[in-house]
Amino acid sequence: MIKKELKNNYKSLLIWSAVMTFLYLLVFIIYPVIIDKLEPGLLEEYLKVLPEEMLKIMNFDIVDIMSAFGWFKSEGYIMLILVGGIYSGIVGGNIMLKEENDGTINYLLSKPISRNKILFSKILSGLILITSFVGIITLVNFIGFEMIGDYNRTIFFLLILGSLIVMYVIFFISLLISSFFRKNKMTTSLTIGFVFLSYILQLMGGLSDKFSWLANLSVFELANGRMIIKDQKLSIITIIISLCIIILSLIYTVIRYKDKEFY
């Protein structure tokens, strides 16, 4: 069942990975050229006119964006968790519902296979897809930074690990959301909306101390790039919170699918 699921989804995985790989490769090729052609001090002058809150949101105040790794620690990381979050949400929201939409769920249930075995096979397939997505991006960036040579491996792998944790959380939340619906179009819309809402909450929380509490409602705070860069470690508290969210989502999903009626 896992092989079948991976076979059905590998094209989607390759497309998402190829797009992200292309964007990162573009940075490695073009970014140094652009930086070299800039007038000395021009970028620094531009950054000075940006609001302090905006600098913090993009991590421009703690990274050197004159380098490719500096870009990765700011815009590159945001792109990774946002696009990766959307991909994880789509995978989680559709991996079980696809069987219902295709009308194959009853065929699976007619076999001597328990609902839990079907569900956990789907979950394992989804985790493999997400891990592969991150793995491809990690490999491309790792090779690129190794060729350049000027980067911090510890921070790089911590950011990758942090993004993977967030994607796992989004996957399990999306899987739970899908258990309440029968059409994957609705679930896809909701999961993508959930990801964007989480990102907006994090942005709003970073714009003003008055609304800083909003950031705590965002799943992206579970791997806050700024904190990872400054502390050079993942927060134990956020890891525990992530595990709790995953476990609770999994338990409730199992309960939902145990009693769910299929047509």
Token pair of 24 as six digits: 């990162």
Question: For residue 260, is it left (φ>0), alpha (ψ between -120 and 50) or beta?
Answer: beta
Using only C-alpha atoms, the chain has a radius of gyration, in whole angstroms, of 20
From CA 160, how far away is CA 176, in angstroms rounded? Answer: 25
Q: Read off the pLDDT of each residue in 154-163 and give the average, rounded to a whole number.
A: 96
The answer to whether 233 and 158 have CB atoms below 8 angstroms apart is: yes
From CA 62, how far away is CA 227, in angstroms rounded? Answer: 10
What pLDDT is stored for residue 244 in this prediction?
A: 97
With cut-offs at 50, 70 and 90, classify the pLDDT of residue 117: confident
Q: Coil, helix or strand for 168?
A: helix
From CA 87, how far away is CA 126, in angstroms rounded? Answer: 11
Question: Where do the domains of the chain lie?
Answer: 2-259
From CA 69, how far away is CA 148, in angstroms rounded? Answer: 9
With cut-offs at 50, 70 and 90, classify the pLDDT of residue 97: confident
The answer to whether 191 and 177 have CB atoms below 8 angstroms apart is: yes
**Helix or strand holding residue 260 (H, E):** none
Angle at which helix 153-178 crosses helix 77-94, to 10 degrees, equals 30
CA 58 to chain centre: 17
The residue among 74 and 54 whose pLDDT is bigger is: 74
The pLDDT mean for the chain works out to 87
How does pLDDT run across 60-88, given as a tens digit for each residue?
A: 778 877 788 988 999 899 999 999 999 99
